[in-house]
Chains A and B, each alone.
Chain A
Amino acid sequence: GAGVSQSPSNKVTEKGKDVELRCDPISGHTALYWYRQSLGQGLEFLIYFQGNSAPDKSGLPSDRFSAERTGGSVSTLTIQRTQQEDSAVYLCASRSLAEETQYFGPGTRLLVL
């Protein structure tokens, strides 16, 4: 079946601009995660959605970062007033309640000039 998809695959933006990154989880997966992979930093957790519960935003680095999940499926990660340190690969993952394994998308590579 179809895996997790993310768009765009690459995004180049200018400092100060807003960007939106999209994630389509695996159909039927109720849990959705965003991670950031920065050079030399490894992967860090950003935010987690589970069904209709309030999202766990504990990993968001600043209030410039926000995410929403519409209809329990597609999620959008928004970064406002981008900074150069926001340059990274943003990975989305989804998980079903029946198992603990997270399945990752290919990521969006963001470059802030």
Chain B
Amino acid sequence: AQSVTQPDIHITVSEGASLELRCNYSYGATPYLFWYVQSPGQGLQLLLKYFSGDTLVQGIKGFEAEFKRSQSSFNLRKPSVHWSDAAEYFCAVGPSNTGTASKLTFGTGTRLQVTL
């Protein structure tokens, strides 16, 4: 069964500092990988996704993520965090073969706090 691990429940960074949120997955083949962000009281917004090709993917709001097959990781990064980035971040994995339900398996999330 597929699974996603986000080892950091809570991270605090200073505004302007760099950020890396960790995500490790377990899946039998190369999956589709996603990062979503959830602000308080809001739904999930897609930040970026990886399906194939270039292992470094760019997303919205200055975020990027790198797929590393050898480490089964898909870590999210941002070079300079803004106070508005404070939110909860979810990594998710979905099956890559077409014709399936594509239901996503989510990690438990990492809550990001940004100090001024």
B-contacting residues of A (Cβ < 8 Å)?
A: 4, 31, 33, 35, 40-45, 48, 50, 56, 59, 91, 93, 95, 100-107
If A35-B106, A100-B51, A100-B94 are given as contacts, then 14 extra A-B residue pairs at C-beta distance below 8 Å, sorted by A number, are: A4-B43, A31-B102, A43-B90, A43-B92, A44-B106, A45-B104, A93-B44, A100-B49, A101-B34, A101-B49, A102-B104, A106-B41, A106-B43, A107-B43
Number of chain B residues whose Cβ lies closer than 8 Å to a Cβ of chain A: 23
Q: List 30 A-B contacts (CB under 8 A).
A: A33-B103, A35-B106, A41-B108, A42-B90, A42-B107, A42-B108, A42-B109, A43-B92, A43-B104, A43-B106, A45-B103, A48-B101, A48-B103, A50-B101, A91-B44, A95-B102, A100-B32, A100-B51, A100-B102, A101-B34, A101-B46, A101-B49, A103-B46, A104-B36, A104-B43, A104-B44, A104-B45, A106-B41, A106-B42, A106-B43
Q: Contacts of A56 on B, CB cut-off 8 Å? A: 101, 103
Instruction: Contact check, A59 vs B103: say whether CB atoms are below 8 A apart.
Output: yes
Q: Contacts of B101 on A, CB cut-off 8 Å? A: 48, 50, 56
Instruction: Contact check, B103 vs A105: say whether CB atoms are below 8 A apart.
Output: no
Residue of B nearest to A10 (CB): B41
Bound Cα distance from A41 to B104, whole angstroms: 15
Bound Cα distance from A106 to B44, whole angstroms: 7
Q: Contacts of A33 on B, CB cut-off 8 Å? A: 103-104
